[in-house]
Amino acid sequence: MSTNFDVVLSEVMAEHGFACGLVASSSGQVLARSGEFTALRWPDLATSLFGDQDAVVRLDESLQEQTLPQIFRQGEVMVLVMKPRADLVVGFFDQSGRDVARLYRQGQQIDRVLSQRLDGPP
C-alpha cells in the first residue's frame, strides 16, 4: 500500500495551521507540496532549503546526527524540518509569529504522528 503524501501533508497543515509544507525524498525528489510558497514573506528560505534536488540533499545531509526537529528562520518565516523516516525530509512553514519553543514542541508531536502515518518501507 503506498502512502498518499499529499493527504497526510494537507491534514497536518490544516490541523496545525501551517502556511506551506512539503515532503521530499532524501535523494531530493519532492513527493508532495502544499500551500503558496510565493506568498511567504521570505520565500528565499524555502528556496534555500527545498528549492531544488541538490538543496534537499544538502539539507538531508546536514540533519544527520542532529537533534530533530530543527527550526530554521528568516525574518518572520520559520520552517520546522523533520525526518519522520530515514528516506524523507519534511518541512512545515509558519509566518504567524508562533513562539519558537511552542513550535518545537509541536514539531516533536508532529514528527511522532508522521512517523506512524508514514511508516513503511523506504
Confidence of residue 3 (pLDDT cuts 50, 70, 90): low
Predicted structure pTM score: 0.92
Which pLDDT belongs to residue 116? Answer: 87
Choose among 81, 111, 78: nearest CA to 97. Answer: 78
Confidence of residue 1 (pLDDT cuts 50, 70, 90): very low
Confidence of residue 4 (pLDDT cuts 50, 70, 90): confident
Burial status of residue 10 (CB atoms within 10 A of its CB: 0-12, 13-18, 19 or more): middle
Q: ∠ CA 79-84-86 to the nearest 5 degrees?
A: 115
Domain tally, the chain: 1
Long-range contacts of 61-64 (CB under 8 A, 24+ apart): 63/89
Instruction: Kindly state whether residue 122 falls inside one of the protein's structural domains.
Output: no
CATH number at 69 reads: 3.30.450.30
Instruction: Kindly state whether residue 49 falls inside one of the protein's structural domains.
Output: yes
Q: Supply the range of the domain harboring residue 101.
A: 5-117
Beta strand 20-25 with 88-94 is antiparallel
Confidence of residue 2 (pLDDT cuts 50, 70, 90): very low
Least confident of 30-34, 88-92, 113-117: 113-117
Residue pair 47/80 in contact (Cβ under 8 Å)? The answer is no
Q: Tens digit of pLDDT for each residue in 78-109?
A: 999 999 999 999 999 999 999 999 999 999 99
Q: Rounded distance, CA 122 to CA 116, Å?
A: 13
- The 10 Å Cβ neighbour count of residue 1 is 4
Instruction: Kindly state whether residue 109 falls inside one of the protein's structural domains.
Output: yes
Instruction: Kindly state whether residue 15 falls inside one of the protein's structural domains.
Output: yes
